[in-house]
Chains A and B, each alone.
Chain A
Amino acid sequence: MTDSRFFNRSELIGILVLAVFLVVVLPLTLDVFRLNLVAKYLTYAFVALGLVICWGYGGILSLGQGVFFGLGGYCMAMFLKLEASSVENTKIQSTPGIPDFMDWNQITALPLFWKPFNSLTLTIAAIILVPGIFAWIIGTAMFKRRVGGTYFAIITQAVAAILTILIVGQQGYTGGINGMTDLRTLKGWDIRPDHAKVVLYFFEVGCLFVCIMIAQFVRHSKLGRILVAMREKEDRVRFSGYSVANFKIFAFCIAAVFAAIGGAMFALNVGFMSPSFVGIVPSIEMVIYTAVGGRLSILGAIYGTLLVNFAKTSLSETFPELWLFGLGGLFIAVVLAFPNGLAGIWGDYVQPRIDRLISLRKPKPAGWTDDSVADGAPAE
């Protein structure tokens, strides 16, 4: 069935088509402004990718992915903010050398937890470790005590609410509701001009493909199969001697780290970070992207993210009223009629016809329902 350990042929084709689409087609056809928009959308694709593993495969719906997106984003933004707040740049402040919002809030010395963000290495470590450890703590506390399903969703939502209130409330340490703005350079390299945006876009696409490979590996390894088994009949897996909690924690942590990488990319590409990307509404929107694209399909989630965001931008520019009706309706339709999202539509209706048309492949063997749905990623 599988041609190699990580892909079967249709998946490989799908990933190559996505690669061509992101690396060649989009940069050639879009201007820098639009390309930067795509870069912004792709940061959410990281989150959606994590949700495929954690929600689609593991059956753990987290409504707090904005938390991890935010943690990653804030780690990156803190590093960039410190670099932008050199003594040179901030000499009009009463205490030069600290970020401007601290100065406005009468904080005169850099708080201790900001210190590590003077170093890029530590920042990159923090982008992975802070959300990872945080997810591990939440996951351990919840899954070891067998909290799952709807309760987990509601508690992650509460965590998202807590973090937002905390960020907004602690203005002096976090920049408050405005977030961290005016991010300028990365190790002296200006991130604002057009050519930098293009470089960052390609860097981001590279990271995205690394994450896709990791997700592919998880999916095709034994781990992925245990996750699916757990989603379907948790007790049976537990009685077979597997530590269900540990697998769930792992899936949740992977999703968290992916989301954090997305957040860090967001801070780099968009040039600011604010609590409006942390709370409940953005977290649920990120779930929407995954659901629309297809919760079982890695590539589907990415296309879903791009599609919903494109629709959001173009519709909300021209018909701001229709947009929310459209989004809400789309969401209800996806849940009611297409639980596997676009990828499901592709796999069920389009791909069989294409296959029949060119008869490239033999029909799938029966009995691999989960994989065959997942295989139906839209390959464009």
Chain B
Amino acid sequence: MFGDYSLGDLGSIFVMQGFAGLILFSVYVLMALGLAIIFGQMGVINMAHGEFMILGAYVTWMTSNFFQSYLPSLFSGYFFLAMILAFVASGALGMLVEWVLIKHLYKRPLDTLLATWGLSLMLQQAYRSVFGAREVGVELPQWMLGSLHVTDSIEVPINGVFVMCLTVLITIVVAYVMYKSRWGRQVRAVVQNRIMAGAVGINTEKVDRYTFGLGCGIAGVAGSAFTMIGSTGPTSGQLYIVDTFLVVVFGGAASLLGTIASAFSISQTQSTLEFFMSGSMAKVLTLLAVVGILMLRPQGLFALKVRK
């Protein structure tokens, strides 16, 4: 299988493939961060997570259209505003959903799965009614097109690099918020012992609402970032949801580091395998490996050792 390539070619292929894996890694991390907060910390199975991402993508699309028609001179920077808007929109919807739906279901995690699935159906139909059934693509500003030529045979797309940088930035922010800020400490206190946290004066309902909102907001930012890579349709969210859950579960639900590690291993496995076989078989093998390892280590790679 390697006979046709020279050693240099092979090196470049592995670098390119590894880089494709890194972009996939960023995608997984972005998708999984929000879910790691919602599922990992709060224990809510949010099947509508993909739809929150799609909301962010649609917000980005609308912003880009707005800039194109009214502020063409600022178009090259529209993305930064779009991301903030996506965060706000998805986060606000998330808080609304928590208030109406999720807060009644904290004691019944399997039922959150069913209810949020219902929510995802409604959101999908809402997108279809508002934005139409066709997939929409965002026009990228000039500086994001094209690719960097690292060497003669290695090319790296700029939008991929941009998404990667964004992922690093968001991850650092989330890690800071969850582990260093006062509010993050409150979140973890509520997760570990709700009653006790309430007893020491933490407003658990408020913490729950903002945590859920934050998770959904990150999903919105993820969706916003995805518009750089692909197009968005009403049902795109469903494509991601299983992968995302696997990433979170594989890493060990409550561990942020685990989420990143599992996103890395899954994406690298898949992009390496993709070189040897068809994309669908690579996906099957990756998922099988993940499921197999999960059977051996049910709590995931980086499980917190807590007494239940």
Chain A residues engaging chain B, CB cutoff 8 angstroms: 61, 63, 141-142, 145-147, 149-151, 153-155, 157-159, 161-162, 165-166, 168-169, 280-281, 284, 287-288, 291, 321, 324-325, 327-332, 334-336, 339
Contacts and interface: CB of A to CB of B under 8 A. Distances in A.
A248 to B, nearest CB: 14
B121 A327 contact: yes
Interface string B102-116: 001100111101110
A162 B284 contact: yes
Contacts of A141: 295
B6 interface: no
B101 A336 contact: yes
B302 to A, nearest CB: 15
Contact of B122 (A158, A281, A325, A339): A325
A178 to B, nearest CB: 15
Contacts of A162: 284, 287-288, 291
Contacts of A151: 249, 294, 298
Interface centre among A155, A169, A324, A336 (most CB of B within 10 A): A324
Interface on chain A toward B: helix, strand, loop, or mixed SS?
Answer: helix
Contacts of B241: 280
A161 B287 contact: yes
Contact of B113 (A61, A155, A158, A324): A61
Interface stretch (B16-24, B79-87, B88-96, B275-283): B275-283
A331 B118 contact: yes
A330 B119 CA distance: 10
A157 B242 contact: yes
Contacts of B280: 165-166, 168-169
A165 B62 CA distance: 33
Given A162-B288, A324-B125, A169 B281 contact: yes
A161 B290 CA distance: 13
A299 B113 CA distance: 24
Contacts of B108: 339
B284 A325 contact: no
A324 B242 contact: no
A337 B128 CA distance: 28
Nearest to B126: A325
A327 B114 CA distance: 12
B122 A324 contact: yes
Interface string B231-274: 00000001001100110010000000000000000000000000
A165 B284 contact: yes
A237 to B, nearest CB: 17
A165 B283 contact: yes
Contacts of B41: none
B115 A336 contact: yes
B291 A280 contact: no
B64 interface: no
Contacts of A142: 295, 298
A84 to B, nearest CB: 27
A331 B114 contact: yes
A287 B109 CA distance: 15
B148 to A, nearest CB: 33
Given A150-B109, A158-B291, 16 more contacts: A61-B110, A150-B39, A154-B245, A154-B246, A158-B287, A165-B283, A165-B287, A168-B280, A169-B280, A287-B114, A327-B118, A328-B121, A329-B118, A330-B118, A331-B121, A336-B104
Contacts of B291: 155, 158-159, 162
Contacts of B101: 332, 336
Contacts of A146: 298
Contacts of A336: 101, 104-105, 115
28 contacts: A147-B298, A149-B110, A150-B43, A151-B294, A158-B290, A159-B291, A161-B287, A162-B288, A162-B291, A165-B283, A168-B280, A288-B117, A291-B114, A321-B125, A321-B128, A324-B125, A325-B121, A325-B125, A328-B118, A328-B120, A328-B122, A328-B125, A330-B118, A331-B114, A331-B118, A331-B121, A336-B101, A336-B104
